[in-house]
Structures are given as C-alpha cells and as structure tokens.
Structure 1
Amino acid sequence: MATVALGSKAGKWIMASSIMASAMAFIDATALNVVLPSLQKNLNASGTDLFWILNAYLLMLAALILIGGSLGDKLGRKKVFMVGILIFIVGSAACGFASSVTTLVMFRMLQGIGGALMIPGSLSLISSSINPNERGKAIGTWSAFTTVVTMGGPVLGGAFGDAGLWRYIFFINIPIGIFALIILAKQVKEIKDEDTKQSLDLAGAVAIALGLAAVTFGFLRTPAVGLSSWQVYTSLITGALLLVVFVVIEKKSKSPMMPLQLFSNLTFSGANLLTFFLYAGLGAGMLFLGLNMVQVQGYSQLQSGLTFLPFTVLMISIARFAGALADKHGPRLLLIAGPALAGLGLLILSFVKQTAGPSGYWTTFFPGIVVFGLGMSFTVAPLTAAVMGSVSDHFSGTASGVNNALTRIANVFANAILGALAVLFFTGALQGEIKNIKLNNKQKQEVIKQSVNLGNAKVPDTLTGQDKITIQTAYKNSFITAYGKIMRISAGLGFLGSLMAVFFIKNSAVKKGKG
C-alpha cells in the first residue's frame, strides 16, 4: 500500500481532514460537560437525564464504532469517513433544535452513529497513508491538535453556556464538518483493502448495544430505586449476559467486528486495558470537576472552561514530542509514567474542599490540573501508537475501532457506575449533615429527595430563613464529599492503567510498518 510523507502536500491534507473531523466528535464531550447546568435548567432535566444525554451518544458510539472500523477497511476508509461526517453533521443540527430531553437523547444517538463511522476513519486514514517511520509523529500531531481542540471545548462551552446559547455547541460542528468533507472530496485519495471479503457483524453490534444499554440503565436506576429493585438487578444481569453473548458471537463469527485473535498480542490487550481504566477515570474526573466548579464553587461556566487552559498548553507543548519519543525508544516507559502522573493529578484534585471561588484557583485546582495534564500529555500519543503499531496495517481500522470503542465504553461505565455512586455518596453525606438539624421527618425526606440532582439540588420551598441557608450549606458540603470520593476512585483507575503498562506493554511488540 503506497504511503506519503507527513510533510508532503498529500500528508498535510490527510492530517487536516482527520483532525477537523475528529475534533468535531471530541469537542462535544468536553463542551457539553461544561454547559450541563444551562442545559439542565433549560430543558428541566433531572440528574439522571443528564447522564442519559451523555450516554446516548456514547452507547451508539461504543456499539457501532467497531463496525465503523471494519467498514472502512472493506469499503474504503475515505468513503466511510465522509458518510460518518455527514451523519454527524445532521445529528448535530438536530440536537441543536431539540426541544426536550427525549428528543435530545434520540438525536444524540444519531450523532453516535455518525461518530462510529467517523472516528476510527481518522486514525485508520493516518495509519495506512503516512510513511511508517513517521507514523508515531503523525499520530502525536493528531493527538495534540485534537486534544487541544477537545480541551478548548470547555472554554467555548462556557462562553455559550453563560450567554444562554448552549445549543451552539452542536451548531458549531456544521461548518467544521463541511470543510472536512470538501478537503476529503478534493484532496485525499481513497484507501481500502482490496482483498477483504468479510461481511458485517450485525449480531455482534446488536448484542453489545443492548448489553451496554441494559447495564447502563441498571446503574442509573440504582439511586432512585435501590440495588434490590427488580428493575436494577434484572437490567444488570441481562446486560452482563448480553455482553457474554457478544464475546461468544465474536469467537464463532467468520467476520467478527472485534477479532479476538488481536488480543493474543499482550501489548495490544494491555494497551486497551490501559485505555479502559485511564479513560474511565478521565471521564468521571472531568465531569465531576466541572460540576463542582460551577454548581458548588461559584465559577461561571466560562471560568470553569478556562481552568483547563493549562492542560491545553501542556498538550500543545508535549504530545507531539511524546509521540516522537515513543517512535525512538518505544512507548512502554511513557505508558507507565503518564497514567501514574494522571492518577496523581486526580488524587490531588480530590482533596480540594470549599474554595473562595475563581480567586482561589491557583492554590486549589491549578496544581492538580497541571499534574494531570502532564500525565495525559505523555500518554495520549504513545498509547495510540502502541495500539496501532501492535497490529498489521490490514487491521488498522479494526484496531482503531476497538480502542475507540473501549474509550467510549469506559466513559459509559464511568458515567453510569460512578454517577450512581456519586448519588449514593451524596445521600449518605447529606443524611449525616442534616442529622442534628431540627427538621421534621417530612422535611428531611424532601431535603434528601433532591440528592438525585447532586450539585443542582434545590432547597424545598417549605424551608425558609436560617433553615434554607443551613440546607444550602449541607448540599454543598455533601457534594464536595461525594466529589472527593469519586475523584479518588478516578485516581485509582489511572494508577490501574499504569499497572497495565508495567505488566503487558512490550516495546518489541510495537513495530513500525508491521504488516
């Protein structure tokens, strides 16, 4: 398969189109996290509704991204990439016009379908088009630019949120997507595997989609009805069984969406385990950090978004360099140190209590964000290079799909499991806070009922004066307690990711131009 130099005209167009399209998908996640308070108020959404708005997109992405990668390998990476971009643009426009939580969830699912075709296409296009000896540098460049745009999402989201324009988070994707389509149509050549005759694994896609949806539903229902409810344990058991069925289907299928033989390579398996743990911690950590800043610490949505600028600066400065280091020395040491540093950053952030607001940022949140940013900057490009470099070019789309699917699955589980735990932690802390407050049982029940809304909990109208102030303080203290526990769990997930690199990643298994 012919390849081009990274610095050539063709190489630059490939990078530009891949970065623009990927940025559309990634910016949604971070920007949406920041505008959740505005969205929640505008659409009268509950705390559980918010997690479904986040998870509807991630569920479709996780379920179909593997098929997206395989389709690119079979039908042409450029063609499938372009179809994905088009569907994502349509889904984004529909989300921008959504008038209710239900319609927004539906259109987020449409976005997820587009993303499933689009996201693996970007890395697969780079992997199969750029010269092997520059592949790590190319992936590092892609990682740096997409992460910068991704982390710029909170700033953009904050500005739109404060202005009451949260819908523009979706509308902004339209011009970006159109530019990417024009570049692909005019400047990028088609690349596909001519010898592939595989059919699509629809049974596998249905099994994993239903399995993830059932598990997610079970965890999101837990705070409202308890673990002993038939709704919860039925959903969790059904979901777990469907995920087992998915593995069986993949094992027996002649053309599986997730070829299990890829996991016989321990480096590929270890890199994907690292991805799962690290991105579960990342997803939960960033979500609750943003909610804490806006709903408890008194930051505006724009100020909350601006707090991630140090992270962005570090990614610009380090990610490409880290990719080049991985090319030269192998990714192992970087993948041990990076996730460990990221975990340390999340741990530091977990100890932040009530602050003086934005004026206290530099001595409260800033140190943890810097350490976390350093860890991610040294991880992103080497991790991607390890995944893509541990398989043959023939499986580049599938490998990208598997890794991206695990990233989204990690986020789904983080949102569902840690979201449910956060409500339980919040409720437990709140019960302790109000134990010695002179309220009758009915008032206490009304106060605790608001736990499901976490930082957006509102004092019942029946309470006024000093009681109202006391309960407001109790809500803030309870959220900070829950936040601290979630951040420490997230830190632990980062450390687990580092351990995966210790046990499984081998530089010798990551070969340039392997094929």
Structure 2
Amino acid sequence: MSQATLTRPGGPNTDEWRPSRRGHGHPWLTLLAVALGVMVVGLDATVVAIANPAIARDLGADFAQLQWVTNGYLLALAVSLIVAGRLADRFGRKTVFLVGVAGFAVASVAVGLSGSIEMVIFWRVVQGFAGALLQPASLAILRNTFPAEKLNMAIGIWAGTSGLAIASGPIVAGLLVENASWEWVFFLNGPVAAVAILLGLWVVRQSRDPDAAGSFDLPGVGLLSAALFSLVWALIKAQEYGFGDILPLGFFAGAAVLGTAFILRERSARHPLMPLGLFRDRSFSAGTVLAMLGFFALFGSFFFLTLYLQQVHGMSPVDAGVRLLPMTATFIVASPVAGALTARFGPRPPLVIGMLLTAVALFALSRIGVQADYLSLWPWFIVIGMGFGMVLVGSTEAIVGNAPVHLAGLAGGIQQTAAQLGGVLGTTIFGTLLATRVGDVLLDKLTGAGVPAEMAPGLAAAEDYVAQGVAPVPPGAPQPLADAITTGSHLAFMTGFQTALAVGAVIALLASFAALLVRRGENTTAGAHAGI
C-alpha cells in the first residue's frame, strides 16, 4: 500500500492542504495521463477520413450525410472550446478533463455500434463536445503542474504526442478497415481512454480559478457560441458554394454581428466569459494569430497533398499515409526540440524559424508537377513537419505562457479554437483557390492534352471532380481518349494545386514577421487581479 503524506500543492490555484498519495501531482506522470487523453482526439482527426468510404457503403450514406460525419464534429468542437476552457477554470481542470475523456470514449464506442448514418452523425457531435472539454483542460493542467523552466518542454511533448496520433491515424485506420471493419476505428479509442482515465484519477492534481465562483456569463456563452457557429458554418458552406454566394456571406455577416455583441457584453459583464484584457498583451494576440496561421498552412497543404498522392499518383489511403510519414514523424521530433528552444530563447525564434521553414516548403511544393517522383517530395515534407512543430509549440507557449495562471483553461480554449479555425480556413481557402484556378484552365488543359474540341466543354463541367484530383473519364472511353482526359484533368488540378500552395507560402512568409512581436511568457499569477 502506498504511503500518504500531508502536502500542500505549490500554487494558489490548486487544492490546499490534503493527503498526497505516491505519484499524485508528479509532473511527468501527469503529462503521460494528459498525453493519452489528447491522443484519442489526435487519432480521431485522421482515422475518420479513412473510414468514411466504408461507412458510406455499409450504412448507405450519401455525400451530404458523409460530410456531416465530419462537419457535425467540427461544429460542436469549434463552438465549445472557449466555453469548455472557462468551465475547467471554474469547476476544476482535472474534473473537466476526465469527463471529456470519458465522454469521448463513450461516444466513440457508440459510433461503432450505430446502425444508421443518423446515429453516427449524432454521436460524432457528442464526440465534438467531449473533445472540447478535454483539450483546453489538458493544457491548463500542464500550466498548473510544471514549473516555468519545464513548461515549454512539457508543451513540446504534449504536441508531439498529438502528432504521433495524427501520423499513425491513417495507417492504423487503413489496416483496421481492410482487415476488420470501420467500427474498430472508433472502438480503438476505448482502451486508450480507459488508461488515461485511470492514470488521471491517480496522478493528476485538481486545480481551478479561485475567482471563478461567481455567476457564469450565460449571455456571453450564447453570443460566443452563436458567433463561432455562424463563422464555421459560413466556412463550411463557402467550400460548397464559394465565398461570393449569399448563403456563406449571410453567415459571415451574422458572425460579425454576434461577435460585436459578444465583445460589448464582455466589456460590461461582472464575470465575463472571456476577459478582453487578455488581448491587450501583444504576445498573446500574436500567438493566437500564429496558431491559426500554422494550422492554416498545415491542414491546407496536408489535405491537398493527400489528394495529390491518392488521385494523381493512384496510391491507396494507407500508402499515402506512409508516404506522408516524413512530415508527421518530423513533427513528432520537432515538437520537443521546439519546446527546448522555447525554454532557452522564448517563443519568438521558434515561431520565426517555423514560419520561414513553412514558407520555403510550400513554395518548393508549389513547383512540383504531375509526374514528380517521391524523392523530390519527401525532403519538403520533412521541412513542413519541422516548421509546424516549431509554430505549434511556440504559439501555444505565447498564448498559455502569457495568460495568467488562473485563466489557464480559458487560454487553452482560445489556443484550440484558433487551431480549429485555422484548419477550416486552410482547407476552405486552399480549396477555393484550387477550384477557381481549375475552372479557369480546365478546358485549355483538356484540349491541349488531345481531347476533341467538341467533347471538352462537356467534360469541363465536371470541374468539381477535377478539383479533387479525379479525372472524369466516361465509362467505355477508348484508351487514348481516357489517357488524354486523365492527363488534361491532372494538369488542371496541378495548376490549382500550385496556385494554392504558392499563396500559402506568401501567407507563411508574412506570418514570420508577425512572429517578431512575440515575447517570452512569464508563467506567473501576475495580472490575476489587474483588470484581466
């Protein structure tokens, strides 16, 4: 039996005098518990894309329903992260984290047991809410557990664990779908979450904001959730209809109105959901923008590189996942390295270097052609992985490290929200640029590849498929015609691909200048009562 001693946690945001069992509050064991919880969300980020075709076949889902398997999760996650972070500050980071892990595990198993696409979508929404509970709380737990000189390394390992899950997701999911069934892609989360819960119950120390006992800002919750929902929904619809369509424009306008109302509410609330004084800190604000831009570049490029490998080069999902391992594996290594650099020099150097590396890699990849061999790709995958690892760790430290300790949960929610919005913006804007450019050049590329002039306009109407890398070859087409259609379609796709990545490179380069505004976080309770 482990001995219990009477100890006092080392800060004002942890529970006071109480018995401490062996391992309770141990920083590295706490990091392990938190990392396992975050791993289930990281796995889910990539396994669903691999499982979607099998889900559609088994449950008879159409394309719109299949989109909701992803969009329902994304919407629930995006609108809940900041609120979940504030809940963690008020009711206890350990409690909210463990509830989130348990909820995510239950929802994952329920997805696998679902007998209809409607139930899959419902439980994916539940997964989104549960994921929102555990992610900000995990960062807040680290902030309240590690001393200042160790926090950056802990964040680096935390990020590397998430990268490991994201990297292994496509391969694990491919093997499970091919050798078992798509349900096991979701069942996999159960045992990982169970270990995280048991370890978390034993080692994680409770912490909360001692000033959060007042009434909860329910009007602020409603306004912020509605604003984020409108923004994310507008981005989702912009992928389908384009940014100029009245539907996404209406939701963008609604997001602006609701966001303004939220700001006005927070300025007058006695117990604001999000103290606006946080954003007066230049480093905090710059870190939030850089987190968004880092995920913008990663998710935008990752999504279309996957299409390039699968549709243009004809790889299976598992093969494409293996080919992308240099990117994801380097990210796993880069995150702890970035944590060490941040601990020594502050977040500014990793952020500047990371954004410059991202810009160089995206520009180099924007020069590749249809027949580019893998030897010309993988070095740039490594550069992207290194750049993203630097940006993620540096921006997270800039946000969490420059927020008061008592608002660590809220800071984690803001970081995660910025990341989610950046990912949606990346796939949306890259996709819009690619699709627009494909529409501009498709007819010329088809006729230039040898498609008869009288046939090309009809094929050009399938530009939406070509923007996904698919060649619209009619059934029974003669081989020479099929080859011409494939060549022209792939050339058009690559034109859009090159344009999107070149724009991403320019944005990453500009972001490297914004990174110069960031300074080292103090990781103290200073500011807790200074109007923040």
Would the TM-score normalized by the shorter structure come out above 0.5? yes
Map residues 32-51 of structure 1 onto 2, 5 A cutoff. Answer: 32-34=48-50
Larger CA Rg, structure 1 vs 2: 2
For 1:46 and 1:339, locate their aligned partners in 2 and report how far apart those are by CA, in whole Å. 39
Preserved contact between residue 398 and residue 519 of structure 2 (Cα < 8 Å): no
> 29, 32, 35: which one pairs with 2:45?
29
- Whether contact under 8 Å (2:430, 2:501) holds in the other structure is no
Cross-structure match for 1:375: 387
- The match for 1:278 among 287, 290, 294 is 294
**C-alpha distance 254-421 of structure 1, shift in aligned 2 (>3 A):** farther
- Counterpart of 1:149 (choices 165, 174, 184) is 165
Residue of 9, 16, 19 corresponding to 1:2: 9
- Asked whether the equivalents of residues 75 and 192 of structure 1 are also in contact (C-alpha less than 8 Å), the reply is yes
Match of 2:18 in 1: none
Partner residue in 2 for 1:423: 435
Deviations 1:105-147 (A, max 9, x none): 4432221100111101111111112233322222222222222
| Aligned pairs for 1:368-447 within 5 A | 368-434=380-446, 437-438=451-452, 440=454, 444-445=457-458, 447=460
Which range moves more in the overlay, 404-413 or 249-258? 249-258
Does structure 1 retain, via aligned residues, the 8 Å contact 2:296–2:423?
yes
| Equivalent residue number for residue 257 of structure 1 | 273
CA distance in 1, matches of 2:238, 2:329: 39
Normalization by structure 2: what TM-score?
Answer: 0.85
Quote the Cα distance in structure 2 between the aligned partners of 1:50 and 1:150. 21
| Preserved CA contact (<8 Å) 1:74 1:192 | yes
Partner of 1:120: 136
Structure 1 residue 448 displacement after superposition: 1.7
Q: Is the 8 A contact 1:31 1:169 kept in 2?
A: yes
- Identify which range, 407-416 or 205-214, moves more after superposition: 205-214
Q: Do 2:95 and 2:206's aligned partners in 1 also have CA atoms closer than 8 Å?
A: yes
Change (3 A) 1:262 1:489: same
- Counterparts of 1:479 and 1:398 in 2: how far apart (Å)? 41
Gaps of 5+ in 2: 1-7, 12-21, 527-532
- Paired amino acid for 2:9: A
Q: Matched residues in 1 for 2:310 and 2:447: separation?
A: 27
Name the residue aligned to 2:284.
Answer: 268
2: CA distance, partners of 1:423 / 1:37:
23
The alpha-carbon distance between structure 1 residues 311 and 384, as it changes in their structure 2 partners (threshold 3 A), is same
CA contact (8 A) 1:430 1:448 kept: no
Q: Distance in 2 between matches of 1:227 and 1:419?
A: 11
With over 3 angstroms needed to count, the CA separation of the structure-2 counterparts of 1:247 and 1:489, relative to structure 1, is farther
CA contact (8 A) 2:466 2:492 kept: no
In 1, Cα distance between equivalents of 2:525 and 2:209: 16
- Cα distance, 1:192 vs structure 2: 1.9
Output the CA distance in 2 between the equivalents of 1:133 and 1:295: 47
The structure with higher relative contact order (CA 8 Å, sep 6+) is 1
What letter is aligned with 1:239? A
Aligned positions of 1:44-193 closer than 5 A: 52-97=68-113, 103-160=119-176, 163=179, 165-193=181-209
* Shift in CA distance, 175/147, structure 1 to aligned 2, threshold 3 Å: same
1:162–1:300 CA contact under 8 A, matched in 2: no
Aligned partner of 1:427: which letter?
G
Q: Secondary structure at the match of 1:379?
A: helix
- Answer yes or no: is the 8 Å Cα contact 1:323–1:381 preserved in 2: yes
Query: Larger deviation: 334-343 or 397-406?
Result: 334-343
Aligned position for 1:477 = 491
Alignment of 1:487-498 (within 5 A): 487-498=501-512
Using the TM superposition, name which of 365-374 and 463-472 deviates more.
Answer: 463-472
Query: Aligned pair 1:293/2:304, yes or no?
Result: no
- Is the CA contact 1:46–1:453 (under 8 Å) kept in the aligned structure 2? no
User: Structure 1 residue 32: deviation in Å?
Assistant: 3.4
Q: 1:476 to 1:42 in 2, by over 3 A?
A: farther
- Indicate which of 516, 522, 525 corresponds to 1:511: 522
Cα gap change, 1:450/1:332 in structure 2, threshold over 3 Å: closer, same or farther?
closer
CA distance in 1, matches of 2:300, 2:446: 27
Tell me how far apart the structure 2 counterparts of residues 330 and 482 of structure 1 sit (CA, whole Å): 38
CA contact 2:110–2:123 (8 Å) conserved in 1: yes
Q: Secondary structure at the match of 1:193?
A: coil
The range that moved more, 391-400 or 138-147, is 138-147
> Which residue identity lines up with residue 482 of structure 1 in the other structure?
G
The CA deviation at 1:306 is 1.3
- Residue aligned with 2:467, SS: helix
Deviations 1:68-127 (A, max 9, x none): 111111111111111111221232223335566655444322211001111011111111
**3-state DSSP of counterpart to 2:468:** helix
Give the whole-Å Cα distance in 1 for the aligned partners of 2:131 and 2:267. 26
- 1:223 and 1:424 in contact (8 A); partners too: no
Distance in 1 between the 2:71 and 2:508 partners?
21
- Measured in 2, the distance between the counterparts of 1:345 and 1:20 equals 31
Q: Tell me whether 130-139 or 284-293 shows the greater mean CA deviation.
A: 130-139
Deviations 1:326-354 (A, max 9, x none): 22222211211112112222222222221
Task: Return the alpha-carbon distance in structure 1 between the equivalents of residues 431 and 66 of structure 2.
Answer: 10
The 1-side partners of 2:523 and 2:117 are apart by 47
How far 1:426 sits from its partner (Å)? 2.7
Q: Is the 8 A contact 1:47 1:453 kept in 2?
A: no
Contact 1:220 1:420 in 2 (8 A): no
Q: CA deviation at 1:175?
A: 1.3
User: For 1:75 and 1:42, how far apart are their aligned partners in 2?
Assistant: 41
Distance verdict in 2 for CA 1:109–1:339, change over 3 Å: same
List alignment gaps of at least 5 residues for structure 1: none
Are the structure 2 counterparts of residues 431 and 3 from structure 1 closer, same or farther at C-alpha, using a change threshold of 3 Å?
A: farther
Give, in angstroms, the shift of residue 317 of structure 1. Answer: 3.6
C-alpha root-mean-square deviation of aligned residues, in Å?
Answer: 3.0
- Give aligned pairs, total: 505
